[in-house]
Amino acid sequence: RMRAGTAGLAAIGAVATGSFGELLLADGLLRLGRSAEALEVLERTLGAVRSRGERTSESELLRVTAEALVHAGGDPEVVDGLLAEARTAARGIGARTAELHVAMSRARIGSRDRHEARTQLEEAIAAIAQETDEADIHEARALLGTATAKYDSGERGELSR
């Protein structure tokens, strides 16, 4: 339905969604278990964002791409690389909420370097605790507890949304 609505708006010359709308579409596809389609949307959108120099959504696109790769059974090294790139992009524009989301994804996914993932989540919580939505902080703190328990047990996490 999202695609049909976007196509209808485009047919009358309206700008339908932009990168944020495509990000929502990809997230919806992931929730439906359609990771290959989500990856296509994300790849296309990330390319467009980069060609326009639109840095505001780059970190979120990279983060969701990493999550889509996890769903698709992608290489953990590539996933970690995308999350590192997403963190750098968020920091580059001072987007603390996006940086928190990246740290939360790393904790949820179960990064190869669990200690670093836990440390980044702690740092992101501390940096943003006074500036963000309480729900984000609550979820991040819950993930920190889970990440700590997984780190202590040596377990790699599973992505759950």
Per-residue pLDDT tens, the chain, 161 aa: give them: 656 665 565 565 544 457 888 898 999 999 999 999 999 999 999 999 999 888 889 999 999 999 999 999 999 999 999 999 999 999 999 998 899 999 999 888 866 678 888 888 888 888 887 666 677 777 887 888 776 666 566 655 554 44
Q: Residue 132: which region, alpha, beta or left (left: phi > 0; alpha: psi -120 to 50)?
A: beta
Half-sphere exposure of 26 (CA within 13 A, CB side): 28
pLDDT given at position 135: 74
Half-sphere exposure of 73 (CA within 13 A, CB side): 0
pLDDT given at position 159: 46
pLDDT given at position 26: 93
pLDDT given at position 154: 61
pLDDT given at position 128: 81
